[in-house]
């Protein structure tokens, strides 16, 4: 594997790696660090013919072209190999880093489109298909392309009980009682958990593994709280730039986190099923 990967990297860059070593992480493919003679390190993700790595490369290139969000530079992208620059990392997500993250995420959320909610193509999240048909309203997009789509997928493979899917459908029918239509769509990263946020020297050095689309920015903000990515320092600074409407932390955060919870039910089942049950109970469904 290492010899074959070295040859493929050499064909792309003109340099043969000094060494290749495995890296942790990667839902979609195996991840390797390639130390190059020039001194720049590269990251190589290796997958099969339907891995979605080509989409990951496209999303990184889209962010690089359309936003100022720091992301790896893509050298080559196919479902078999995604080759990109390695971003420096190793720092924690302390208060200064979180404030820097808030400024970068707020700038990302200021990017909009007149095509509605969705994206130019379907994408992936955690290796799962993520449909993005352009939709005129956020209510319809979030209900059909996020909650009901992922709920049906989780139920189809036996990880979400049918009774919960029925309750989810009832909740979705009343969704407009609980969430708000935003003024305009916002470009979001889409998978902003701690492992996808890189930092060093009290600043953000990059965001990786995107699952981008145009959405209500609150779905991104909610996701950053689900696994403790960001806290008060982030939200205080973000609120200074883009005020967060009342009711987000009390109610809408839990509603928006239904989507990543359903993603995790589809992937893993287990305790995530109870988390979905708890959210539906909270809202009377």
Active-site entry in 191, 209, 254, 277: 191
Q: State the DSSP code for 90.
A: -
Return the pLDDT at 26. Answer: 59
d(CA 86, CA 73): 8
Whether 191 is catalytic: yes
- Exposure of 239 by Cβ count < 10 A (0-12 exposed, 13-18 middle, 19+ buried)? middle
Return the pLDDT at 25. Answer: 63
Q: Among candidates 188, 197, 219, which has minimal Cα distance to 67? A: 188
Q: State the DSSP code for 118.
A: B
CATH number of this structure's domain 95-282? 3.90.1200.10
Return the pLDDT at 28. Answer: 66
Q: What residues does CATH 3.90.1200.10 cover in the chain?
A: 95-282
Return the pLDDT at 3. Answer: 75
Q: What residues does CATH 3.30.200.20 cover in the chain?
A: 2-85
**Helix, strand and coil percent figures for the chain, each rounded to 5:** 45, 20, 35
Listed as own residue / partner, the contacts of 127-132 with beta carbons closer than 8 Å and 24 or more positions apart are 127/27, 127/28, 127/51, 127/52, 127/267, 128/153, 128/263, 128/266, 128/267, 130/190, 130/211, 130/213, 132/213
Fold for the domain defined by 2-85: Phosphorylase Kinase; domain 1 (3.30.200)
Mean pLDDT, each 10-residue run in order, the chain (285 residues): 87 95 76 94 92 94 98 96 94 95 98 98 94 98 98 98 98 97 97 95 95 98 96 98 98 98 97 98 97
């Amino acid at each position: 594997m290492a010899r074959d990967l070295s040859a493929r990297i050499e064909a792309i860059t003109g340099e043969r790696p000094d060494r290749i070593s495995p890296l942790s992480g990667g839902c979609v493919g195996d991840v390797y660090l390639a130390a190059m003679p020039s001194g720049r390190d590269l990251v190589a993700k290796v997958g099969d013919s339907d891995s979605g790595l080509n989409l990951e490369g496209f999303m990184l290139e889209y962010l690089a072209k359309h936003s100022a969000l720091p992301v790896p530079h893509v050298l080559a992208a196919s479902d078999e190999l995604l080759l990109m620059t390695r971003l420096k990392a190793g720092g924690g997500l302390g208060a200064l880093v979180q404030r820097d993250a808030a400024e970068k995420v707020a700038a990302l959320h200021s990017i909009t489109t007149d095509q509605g909610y969705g994206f130019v193509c379907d994408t992936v999240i955690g290796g799962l298909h993520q449909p993005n048909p352009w939709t005129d309203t956020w209510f319809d997009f979030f209900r059909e392309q996020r909650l009901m789509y992922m709920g049906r997928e989780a139920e189809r493979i036996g990880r979400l009980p049918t009774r919960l899917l029925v309750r989810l459908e009832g909740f979705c029918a009343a969704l407009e009682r609980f969430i708000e239509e935003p003024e305009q769509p916002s470009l979001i990263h889409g998978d902003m958990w701690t492992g996808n946020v890189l930092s060093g020297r009290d600043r953000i050095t990059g965001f990786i593994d995107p699952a981008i689309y145009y959405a209500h920015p609150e779905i991104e903000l909610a996701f950053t709280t689900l696994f403790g990515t960001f806290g008060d320092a982030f939200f205080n600074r973000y609120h200074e730039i883009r005020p967060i409407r009342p009711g987000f932390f009390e109610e809408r955060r839990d509603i928006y986190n239904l989507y990543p919870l359903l993603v995790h039910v589809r992937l893993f089942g287990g305790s995530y099923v109870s988390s979905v049950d708890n959210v539906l109970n909270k809202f009377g469904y």
